[in-house]
Amino acid sequence: MKVYFFASFLMILITGFIIFPGTSDHSVSPVSQPSAKDNFLKYCAGCHGTKMERFAGNTWEAFKAGGDLTGVIRSGLPVLGMPSFEKAFTQAEMKAISDYILEMKDKKEATVAVKFPAVVRSKHQSFRIDTVAKGLDVPWGIAFLPDGDMLVTERSGQLFRFGGGKLKAIISGVPEVLALGQGGLMDVVLHPKYKENGWIYISYSKKAPDGVGGNTAIFRAKLKNNQLVEQQELFKAMPNTTSGVHFGCRMVFDDQGYLFFSVGERGEKTNAQTLTNHCGKIHRIFDDGRIPPDNPFVNTAGAMPTIYSYGHRNPQGIDINPVTRRIYNNEHGPRGGDEINLVGKGNNYGWPVITFGINYDGTIITKETAKAGMEQPVFQWTPSIGPSSMKFVAGDRYPGWKGDILSGSLSFKYLERVHLEGGKVTEQEKLLENVGRVRNVTVSPDGYIYVAVESPGIVVKLVPVTN
């Protein structure tokens, strides 16, 4: 119970508390320091919500039973990616933050259902918002079956089938997932020739054989009577690690039928620059798991042959530009430096040798933002928005957004539209502000945009309107 409690709390806490400013000067007057509330609203509310709606209730019950929130802030849990803040804060500062959170959590009101306006009018496109799935926690991936039903992965390990706005089935046969921190059941995509072969591809965090830690894996299966059958494991990232952060893992098929997918560097920076492991990379395989003979590092001694590009931190979005047919990804920076990249064969994207971000505690990772032999991002966000997934808008349903990138923001709870002109970002727009933590954005086969949100756990459909 104690291990579960701390693991759950740390992964909720990690993106908020680790960027609090602090001081080791005990002589400074408290009057000159930001209050605990100011610190929370300025540095934590983007992830945890101004009403603390992103804190799990059972976590607080455990604290009331004797847990030590201040101790977690002070000592950290490096195995889950949270460093110690003993040198960044005074004991009084940590205690004040802890007391404020616990006090406000007790006063927190029940979450109110989201109410959407009848019509949303953005710069170039008007639309209404229809809720097509609800009652979820962390909906991570979405795929559409030929009959119009929607498969939705839940990070905790469940696979749901929705149709007609209602839950139709919980799919059985999902393998046990390593539901640790940011890991769990992740993306789901259909084979481009699904109607012919029936293959469904699912990414998840898989336990190591000894049950200690694990890493990102991909398997394919077929759906029969709402059960996954004929399962085949296609990929398992190495090495196994007990880290609970930076698993990747988005997937996309290109026009040639190759499967591209991402694996994060698992919280170990040096992994991204090392070709002898799978972490911090974009990978490419055939649809049956075989290695393409023209992958860039197939003939490099010691290199993992699935690697397509490297030097990535935690890429959680990947898609194909509908015009150029080139592959793009987005990925989490640390504190600042989230990126959109044009993914090229054999390219090095620099992490952690170059970055526009800094460590969560304010310390410098590197002063370099560019270096020969390393790619520059198409675009970078500072401060970080926490990009979750990305999708190009294709087709004619949204003429005002055609060709634009949609990217979810976990930190600031909106969907961002990014317009590219000549390979450069020339316009940005926030959509669905305060809708919740946008975990996934995708486009259905019939051209409609769907957005999966956590807190509240829903999937919405953006329906274009002309008036």
Q: Can you give the residue ranges of every domain in the chain?
A: 2-107, 120-465
Catalytic residue chosen out of the listed positions 48, 124, 191, 246: 246
Q: What is the pLDDT of residue 111?
A: 43
- Total residues found in the chain within this entry: 467
Q: What is the pLDDT of residue 141?
A: 98
Sign of CA dihedral 380, 384, 385, 390: positive
Q: CA dihedral defined by 305, 310, 313, 319, rounded to 10 degrees?
A: -90
Same fold, 2-107 and 120-465: no
Q: In sequence order, what are the residues at sequence separation of 6 or more whose Cβ sits closer than 8 angstroms to the Cβ of residue 266?
A: 215, 241, 243, 245, 246, 247, 279, 280
CATH of 120-465, one of 2.120.10.30, 3.20.20.140, 3.30.365.10, 3.30.420.40: 2.120.10.30
Domain 2-107 CATH assignment equals 1.10.760? yes
The CA distances from residue 248 to 164, 222, 244, 313, 354, in Å, are: 31, 23, 12, 9, 20
CB-hemisphere CA count at 13 Å for 223?
Answer: 25
**Residues lower than pLDDT 70 in the chain:** 1-32, 39-67, 77-83, 105-114, 467
Q: Quick one: tokens of 331?
A: 């990925």
Dist. CA 112–CA 97, nearest whole Å: 26
Q: In sequence order, what are the residues at sequence separation of 6 or more whose Cβ sits closer than 8 angstroms to the Cβ of residue 439?
A: 138, 139, 140, 388, 389, 408, 410, 452, 453, 454
Check if 246 is active-site: yes
